[in-house]
Chain A
Amino acid sequence: MLLTHRIAFRWHQFRDETQGLVEGFQSLLVNLVCLKLKFPEKQSVIVILDSRREAVMLWLLWLCNILPRYEVWVIRRAGDLELRLQRDFGGELLLVASARVFCKHYGLLVELRRQRRLIVL
């Protein structure tokens, strides 16, 4: 492949992937705000992400009083998720996973979706 082709290929890959990340995270934020405003009684929420950057942004949004302080799991490997899921949650807890983390670990999360209240945003 020519060098110019390789650069163009990498640029498109970077742009498409980052745009997907941006849109996915925006979708998560808008829906978390909707949960907070429209369903204030549903406070027991765990947010499952795959990126520390996104976890920091959620924390900053809590500091700005835009979002409640949710428990956030940053899952890098399927093994981490398996460990966390061994915990006893209680009945009322709502798990919210980003679409990206769901796709990365769908083997585990599809099972979880059948057993618990799991929302993919």
Chain B
Amino acid sequence: MKFIKRSDRAQPKVSLILLDWSVRESFHLLNYLSRQDIDRDLFEVIIIEYYSRISDAIRPVEAQVDSWLLLEMPDDCYYHKHLMYNAGIVTAKGEICVICDSDAMVKEGFIRAIITEFENNPGIVLHIDQFRNTRKDFYPFNYPDFAEVTGKGCINNVGGKTRGVVDDKDTIHNRNYGACMCARRADLIEIGGADEHIDYLGHICGPYDMTFRLVNSGHREIWHQAEFMYHTWHPGQAGEDNYLGPHDGRHVSTTALDALIRERVHPLLENAAIRQLRLSSDAPDSTRFEISPAHFKAWRKDKLRHGQQWIAGNTFRKSRHGFVIDRTPEGFVGYPKVLDHPFFSKAREALELRAATESMLLERLDNEISGDLRRLLPIIGTLTYLSRAFGLAFLYLQRRLLRFSQGVA
């Protein structure tokens, strides 16, 4: 781990954490940060590079970078953004940490909007959504106007706001949780920072892991209604050919969703430096950031299965047909998920099933399901597949017909 540069800003209010894993071609956000309408000492910029590359893309705008840290992870390790988030949180001097895209555009009032929002609303986690434009003539990035990015080629502009902010149908998939997340550093440390569990290795990850756990700990999630980021197309932006951890089919981590459902506040795997900050009252020292030696082995590229989902089996707790399966020192225990709720937990001991091996327990759990329902489950599964296939085919044809009638090829 090596610092190329260290921040000498005495008391910044905001720390921007920007990530790279030797892939970024442009850090044009830095140009836009140089034009902010507030005192430059109110914010600091931290660049975290996962490997050892000193990016040429940063050199022209290096004056805007306050801290530049190379994690120097071995080349045979796959990238894990949450490790970089934690490095940023430990390094940050600001009261508010901002994790955002480094290849997006922001307006002059971006930092001011963040500071104002935190001054007006205590106990929040703030997100800022992003306009996305798919025009390929903006690549390589050629500094288009904001109006051009929200104009022709923009896929989510609804009356000057992003579709995700306007639409309340499926916010978790329609909003860009990775665009910009802002939270108080103390709050992030309190929840144990970003989760370094292997489920978040590669493309399926994001600051929403921390957002969900902050919400579970009582914070209010808000989305800025007037301030946005602006993103233009570049190759590989959808994570094509990246390794994917467990997700819900639409690239939202099921491990993070599980944390939300189960009200989990702390990460499955906490960084040692974050834990030290959480438990001690000493003044934080940025040199203390630690990378667990176990990661070098667990995150090796040759252990991954490219293009396939990780079978989430690293945690002891599993779920099958609505039953929770837990490992105990004596063997395995299973019970219906509903008994997890405090309202029913008294009955849990009487209703849980135990077995020496997992296969024996699965057999016993299957027998717990009544015969009628057991026979119906595969039929319900097949009907779900068929109805979704027909529904999606109908939607696709409807869109094609609409485009055809509008004279678009």
**Interface positions of A (Cβ within 8 A of B):** 1, 5, 9, 12-23, 25-31, 33-35, 37-39, 53, 57, 61, 64, 66, 76-79, 94, 99, 102-107, 110, 113, 117, 119-121
Contact = CB atoms under 8 A, between A and B. Distances in A.
Contact of B392 (A14, A23, A28, A61): A14
Interface in B371-390: 372-373, 376-377, 380-381, 383-385, 387-389
Q: Among A77, A103, A107, which residue has the most Cβ atoms of chain B within 10 A?
A: A103
Nearest to A110: B215
Nearest to A108: B168
Contacts of A38: 347, 351
Nearest to A32: B338
7 contacts: A16-B309, A18-B384, A25-B384, A39-B344, A102-B260, A106-B172, A110-B215
B249 A121 contact: no
Nearest to B240: A1
A26 to B, nearest CB: 5
B300 to A, nearest CB: 24
A107 B261 CA distance: 12
A12 B321 CA distance: 22
Contact of B260 (A9, A76, A103): A103
B76 interface: no
Q: Helix, strand, loop or mixed for chain B's interface?
A: helix
A66 B370 contact: yes
Contacts of A57: 380, 383
Given A18-B249, A53-B387, A79-B168, A117 B322 contact: no
B374 to A, nearest CB: 10
Contacts of A78: 168-169, 171
B175 to A, nearest CB: 11
B267 interface: no
B343 interface: yes
A38 B338 CA distance: 11
B203 to A, nearest CB: 12
Interface string B353-382: 000000000000000011011001100110
Contacts of A37: 370
Interface string B165-200: 000111110000000000000000000000000000
A5 to B, nearest CB: 7
B336 interface: yes
Contact of B370 (A5, A16, A31, A33): A33
Contacts of A113: 263
Interface residues of B, number: 48
Given A22-B381, A22-B385, A66-B372, 9 more contacts: A13-B249, A25-B380, A27-B337, A29-B380, A31-B337, A57-B380, A64-B376, A99-B257, A104-B172
A14 B336 CA distance: 28
A121 B322 contact: yes
Contact of B240 (A9, A14, A121): A9
B249 A14 contact: yes
A107 B344 CA distance: 25
A25 B379 CA distance: 12
A19 to B, nearest CB: 7
Nearest to A117: B343
A120 to B, nearest CB: 5
A30 B369 contact: yes
A109 to B, nearest CB: 10
> Most A CB atoms within 10 A — which of B168, B257, B343, B351?
B168
A67 B88 CA distance: 51
Nearest to B251: A13
B336 A31 contact: yes
B248 A119 contact: no
A25 B319 CA distance: 13
Given A5-B240, A25-B384, A17 B373 contact: no
Interface in B203-231: 212, 215-216, 221
A22 B261 contact: no
Contact of B249 (A17, A66, A117): A17
B323 interface: yes
B80 interface: no
Contacts of A1: 240
A20 B343 CA distance: 26
B249 A15 contact: yes
Interface in B245-265: 247-250, 252, 254, 257, 260-261, 263
A110 B220 CA distance: 10
A37 B373 CA distance: 13
B168 A26 contact: no
